[in-house]
Amino acid sequence: MIIPKSKEEIELMRESALVVSKTLGMLAKEVKPGVTTLYLDKLAEDFIRSEGAIPGFLGLYDFPNTLCMSPNEQVVHGFPTTEPLREGDIISIDCGAIKNEFYGDHAYTFAVGEIDPETEKLLQVTKESLYVGIKEFRIGNRIGDVGYAIQKYTENHGYGVVRELVGHGLGRKMHEDPEMPNYGKRGRGKKFIEGMVVAIEPMINMGTHKIRQHSDGWTITTLDKKPSAHFEHNVAIVDGKPELLSTFKYIYKALGIESDEEEPFRKEPLVV
């Protein structure tokens, strides 16, 4: 059952989302060759607590850390480790936080130093596909419309859309109804309703869409060991239209990137 949120609840969820957005912005400055993902995990936990929030993943389904850290061919759900990041790696960082009893949950794939152009393209297209999907999250559309848009956009570049993992409703629980696949058919699935809040999160592979689940019960890698990218935003339907609750602007500020990609999904520009 989809649980729509009131305007007041959406404002609380915006605060939860912003804790995660700021955490990812803080991490953007720290992602570099030689740094371990376990170190970044500790920084994130301290930062989230300093914001008066609780790490959302820690202990959830018995996950042992604050961040899911998935380098290179890892798709999602990787553990932070003592292995240092290397020049040319990519690292998908997924972060959750609870504030005011509501969850924020979003993700960004970072380049570690200089990466090859083919991988750079994967990151760019995956991020673009997130906004292509968000645009379809509006009254009058259905779940299949978002998935169709993301699938078409990324498959046109020859990429694989992971089938086994999907976006989801978000609220007082980390995973609420509905499931939001990154593939689908136009006009199929449940209708979107006013006040619903979801995490839209394309997980896109450079090669095959097929994945392998590791025996640790968590780590998921691409079957062909080619890289995979993951970008996630939290989005509400307000007055019939998609409104971003999360932002990558803290990341862009840290990295010196100019971008107006989020502007269509806000009533007013967000200054960070």
Interactions with Mg ion, residue window 107-126 (CB under 5 A): 107
Residue 262 binds Mg ion (CB under 5 A): no
Query: Residue 100's closest CA among 20, 198, 11, 7?
Result: 11
Residue 94 binds Mg ion (CB under 5 A): yes
Residue 162 binds Mg ion (CB under 5 A): no
Contact window for Mg ion (CB under 5 A) among 106-114, 129-137, 140-148, 263-271: 106-114
Evaluate the omega torsion of the peptide bond into residue 80 and state whether it is cis, within 30 degrees of 0.
Answer: no
Residue 105 binds Mg ion (CB under 5 A): yes
Residue 250: φ, ψ to 5°: -70, -35
Query: Residue 70's closest CA among 199, 179, 232?
Result: 232
Classified as helix, coil or strand, 231 is coil
Contact window for Mg ion (CB under 5 A) among 91-99, 115-123, 157-165, 219-227: 91-99
Residue 145 binds Mg ion (CB under 5 A): no
Give residue 118's identity as a one-letter amino acid code: E
Residue 153: φ, ψ to 5°: -60, -45
Q: What's the rounded Cα separation, in Å, for the pair 243 and 206?
A: 29
Q: What's the rounded Cα separation, in Å, for the pair 161 and 125?
A: 12
Residue 227: φ, ψ to 5°: -70, 160
Q: Which of 199, 203, 220, 236 binds Mg ion (CB under 5 A)?
A: 199
Residue with smaller CB distance to Mg ion, 8 or 41? 41
Least distance (Å) from Mg ion to the CB of residue 98? Answer: 13
Q: What's the rounded Cα separation, in Å, for the pair 250 and 255?
A: 9
Residue 176 binds Mg ion (CB under 5 A): no
Q: What's the rounded Cα separation, in Å, for the pair 121 and 159?
A: 11
Contact window for Mg ion (CB under 5 A) among 34-42, 92-100, 135-143, 144-152: 92-100
Least distance (Å) from Mg ion to the CB of residue 234? Answer: 8
Per-residue x/- mask for Mg ion, residues 204 to 243, rule CB under 5 A? ----------------------------x-----------
Residue with smaller CB distance to Mg ion, 95 or 237? 95
Interacting residues with Mg ion (CB under 5 A): 94, 105, 107, 199, 232
